[in-house]
Amino acid sequence: MHCSGPLSSKAAGEVDKTAAAMGKQRVNRDVCRGGEAGSQQGSQIQLSRVMRPDDANIMGNVHGGIILKMIEEAGGIVGTRHCNTLNGDRCWVALVRVEKTEFLFPVFIGEVVHVSAEISYTSKHSLEVQVKVVAENILTGMKKLANKAALWYVPCSLQNADKILEVPPIKYADAEQEEEGRKRYEAQKIERQGTKARLEEAIPPPPNPEEAPKERHTVGFSQSSLIHLVGPSDCTIDDYVYGGVTMKLMDEVAGIVAARHCNTNIVTASVDAINFHRKIKKGCVVTVTGRLTFVSNKSMEIEVLVDAASLVDKEKGRYRAVSAFFTFISLDKDNKPLTVPPLKIEGEDEQRRSDEGKARYVQNKAKRLADKERRQ
C-alpha cells in the first residue's frame, strides 16, 4: 500500500473546499427531496427529550401540560415546514383545534419522551397532524404508548396574520385514506361551529381567598384562575402565542382545581377537544380560569376558559380565545385510582353544566368501550 506524506496547507485547503461543496450539495439535495409538496419525508418529524424534575409534580408524574406542549411543538414544526414547500408567501401554522386526547399511561421523571408527528390530511386551507407520544425507560428499555392526539392547523401569512394561505396537498396511500380524512375534517368543522355559542359566556372571577366558601367540594371552593402576561418567549416569529404554551397554562389551572377538590395527587386523564377561537398576540394579558363541571366516582371534569386582553390597547376589549374540558383522576401513593369526593351543586347554572358534563362522560365512556371491543 502506498502511503503519501502530509498535504501542504494549500492542498489541504482545496480538499476542505471540495468536501464542503460536496457536503452542501448533498444537504441541498436531501432538503429538496424531503421538501417536495406532498412528500412523506417532508410531512413527518420526531422530537425526543428527557423528562426533568421541573416537568413533573412532587410525586414524579410529568404534567399533562408538558406533554401537550411537546405535541403542539412537533405538530407546528411539521405543519409549518410542509406549508412552506411551495413558492409564494412564507407562513407559520396556527393551531385551531386539538381533538379529544387520552393520556393512556403516566410519564415519569427520567423517562425519554419521543413525540412523532405526521400530516394525515390536508384541505384547501387546513391540515391535520397525527401525533404519538412514546415514553421510554432507558434503564430497562421498556417503552409505552403514553398519548395519541390529532391537531388541526391553518397557515397564516407572515405578511398578514389574518390571511389564510392554501395548503399543499399530501399524497394518500389510497382513496379510502383520503375519504376518512375528509370525514374527520367535516366533523371537526361542525363541532367547532357548535362551540361559538359559548364564546361570550361570562365566567365569574374566583372567590377571594379570605371570602371563599367554607364548605368544601363546591364549584366555588376549587375554582381557580391564573393571570399571565404574554412575552416574547411565549410567541412564534410572528408574535402570536404558541398553542402549546396556552395548553400548558390550561393544564396547570385544571390541575389546581382538581387538587383543591380532592386534596390528593392528581394527573390528567384526557382532554376533550380544545378549540382555539382567536389568536393571542404578544403583550396581551391572558386569564385562564378553571371550574369543576362534573364529578364521577373516579374522575373530575374541569372546564377551562382562556380570555385575553391587550395590555396597551384597551379599545379592543377582552375576548374568549380558547376553551376546553380537562378530565383528571385522583391517585394514591402507588398510582392507583382513588374515589373522588362528590361535587356539591349550587344553583341552576351549575346543575345545567353538571348535566352536560354527565352526558359527555357517558358518551366518552361508551366510545372507549367501543374502541376496546374493536381492538380485540
Active-site annotation, residues:
57, 251
d(C-alpha 113, C-alpha 339), whole Å = 30
Position 267 scores a pLDDT of 93
pLDDT for residue 4 is more than 50: no
Percent of the chain with pLDDT strictly greater than 90: 68
**Contact assessment for residue 302 and residue 235, using Cβ atoms and an 8 Å cutoff:** no
Helix residue ranges per DSSP H, the chain: 9-34, 64-83, 175-194, 219-222, 243-262, 348-375
Average pLDDT over residues 272-287: 94
CATH for the stretch 213-375: 3.10.129.10
Sequence spans of domains, the chain: 43-197, 213-375
- The pTM of this model reads 0.82
Instruction: Locate 170 and state its grid cell.
Output: 399530501
* DSSP H or E run through 14: helix 9-34
- Tracing cell 382567536 back to the chain, one arrives at 278
- Domain 43-197 and domain 213-375, same fold? Reply is yes
Q: What is the mean pLDDT of the chain?
A: 86
Whether the Cβ atoms of residue 317 and residue 262 lie closer than 8 Å to each other: no
What architecture is domain 43-197? Roll (3.10)
CB count in 10 Å sphere of residue 371: 11
299 pLDDT higher than 80: yes
pLDDT digits (tens, 9 = 90+) for 69-92: 999 999 999 999 999 988 888 999
Mean pLDDT of the region 106-129 = 96
pLDDT bin (cut points 50, 70, 90) of residue 325 is very high
**Sequence-ordered list of residues with C-beta below 8 angstroms from that of 77, at least 6 positions apart, any chain:** 45, 47, 117
